[in-house]
Amino acid sequence: MDIHDARQKRLSRLVTKQRADALLVTNFTNVTYLTGFSGDDSFLIFPRSGGPILISDPRYTTQLEEECPGLDLVIRRPGTSMISSIKKIVAKASIRKLAIEAGSMSVGLFEQIKDALDGVEVLPANGMVEQLRQVKDAHEIRLIREAAALAERAFAIVRAALSPSQTELHVAHELEHQARQLGARGCSFAPIVAAGPRSALPHARPTQQTIGSSPFLLIDWGAAERNGYKSDLTRMVLTGKIPAKLERIYRVVLQAQLRGIEAIRPDVTTHEVDKAARDVIEKAGFGRQFGHGLGHGIGLDIHEDPRLSNGGKTVLKPGMVITVEPGIYLPGFGGVRIEDDVLVTRNGHEVLTNVPKRWEDAVLSW
């Protein structure tokens, strides 16, 4: 069975459970997941029985034929609105209850659809496709492994060429360049490269500050392979005379990360994994300096469900791929974060990213 057919069958059961006649998929990433179409500006009407119908426009005709052979298509003519196309398909299919993706649809679009579909009950639903996307199939896991390998190779090249005169922006641009040179679609997101005190900003934007201005550097990056599946890693690079405080923080964060990874296995909640790592940081006296969740799912999006957080109730299942990224951030001094991508297996877990992370491994001599 084709991987997209299998996903569509699973979604069909969820649409039936929602007691809807069809689901209107408007999140472009969800359209990609269900059909393999990598373009945008296209919606999918997914009935609980019968095949899905993709509404697109003439720009994508050839691309659709290449990526989605056999898929039922409605190509909008110039001047024909998406809303009128939806209305025509819904009427022809005698759809009386239409579920919509409330979590990603704008209020404006919802009102337009509701007004256009006279006599049709529009049911706000949330997370049906995202629920499926949480558990990766074998094909997706293979692509995430590829994304991780691309990120690791790009980092190795960039790290080997680091010099004190390079700026944070230069390093970020080189990561993007090397990832593309190796065959990636690009980076998973704009890399975070932060030297010294700026590493206390969890989402720091690279600047013209030279990396040699401080004895430590935080780099958060990832690669997107050609199909769009992503990886996400964070490492520290240590140079020069390293403050004793930094070594203490680094060792606490590393221990917390290892504890979090050790806790990952089927039937454990995301709260339990978060707590395993957070307890280490709190015991060391830095609880208030760890202000974000332990991690998140990755796949076609860089941030997906499930979320590893304090109070999280999601139960881990084999096939989920999550990041584990504890951090300690001290304003005015700097921060440490260490991040890896982890697959939940039938018997436990597998770390998919393999960049060395011991204290000794982080030290670099110019």
Domain total of the chain? 2
Q: What average pLDDT values come out for the chain (366 residues) when binned by 10 residues? A: 90 93 97 95 92 94 93 92 95 95 94 94 94 97 98 98 97 98 98 98 97 97 98 96 95 98 98 98 98 98 97 96 98 98 98 97 92
Of 151, 314, 315, the C-alpha closest to 230 is 151
Same domain, 256 and 154: yes
Same domain, 302 and 356: yes
Same domain, 236 and 297: yes
Q: Which contacts of 216-219 are long-range, i.e. CB under 8 A and separated by 24 or more positions?
A: 216/242, 216/246, 216/334, 217/171, 217/193, 218/192, 218/193, 218/194, 218/334, 218/335, 218/336, 218/337, 219/155, 219/171, 219/175, 219/191, 219/192, 219/193
Question: What pLDDT is recorded for position 126?
Answer: 87
Same domain, 260 and 337: yes
Question: What pLDDT is recorded for position 1?
Answer: 60
Is the CB of residue 130 less than 8 Å from the CB of residue 313?
no
Give the Å distances, CA to CA, from 126 to 14, 96, 294, 346.
Answer: 11, 19, 24, 28
Name the 3-class secondary structure at 205.
coil
Same domain, 12 and 153: no
Residues 216 and 268: their CA atoms lie apart, in Å, by: 35
Find the CATH number of the domain harbouring 151: 3.90.230.10
Is the CB of residue 214 less than 8 Å from the CB of residue 195?
yes
Same domain, 196 and 305: yes
Using CA of residue 177, residue 178, residue 179, residue 184, what is the dihedral sign?
positive
Residues 118 and 172: their CA atoms lie apart, in Å, by: 51
Same domain, 95 and 163: no
Residue where one domain finishes, among candidates 132, 167, 182: 132
Residue where one domain finishes, among candidates 132, 163, 181: 132
Same domain, 301 and 328: yes
Structural domain containing residue 35: 3-132
Is the CB of residue 29 less than 8 Å from the CB of residue 42?
no
> DSSP H helical segments within 127-269, as ranges?
128-133, 138-160, 168-181, 244-262
Find the CATH number of the domain harbouring 109: 3.40.350.10
Residues 147 and 239: their CA atoms lie apart, in Å, by: 28
Question: What pLDDT is recorded for position 50?
Answer: 83
Residue where one domain finishes, among candidates 113, 132, 151: 132
Same domain, 151 and 286: yes
Q: Which contacts of 343-348 are long-range, i.e. CB under 8 A and separated by 24 or more positions?
A: 343/136, 343/141, 343/144, 343/319, 344/264, 344/265, 344/266, 344/316, 344/317, 344/318, 344/319, 344/320, 345/266, 345/318, 346/266, 346/318, 347/265, 347/266, 348/264, 348/265
Residues 76 and 54: their CA atoms lie apart, in Å, by: 10
Place of tokens 């509701």: 114
Residues 70 and 30: their CA atoms lie apart, in Å, by: 19
Question: What pLDDT is recorded for position 366?
Answer: 81
Of 225, 201, 357, 360, the C-alpha closest to 302 is 225
pTM as predicted = 0.95
Same domain, 207 and 331: yes
Same domain, 149 and 82: no
Same domain, 228 and 343: yes
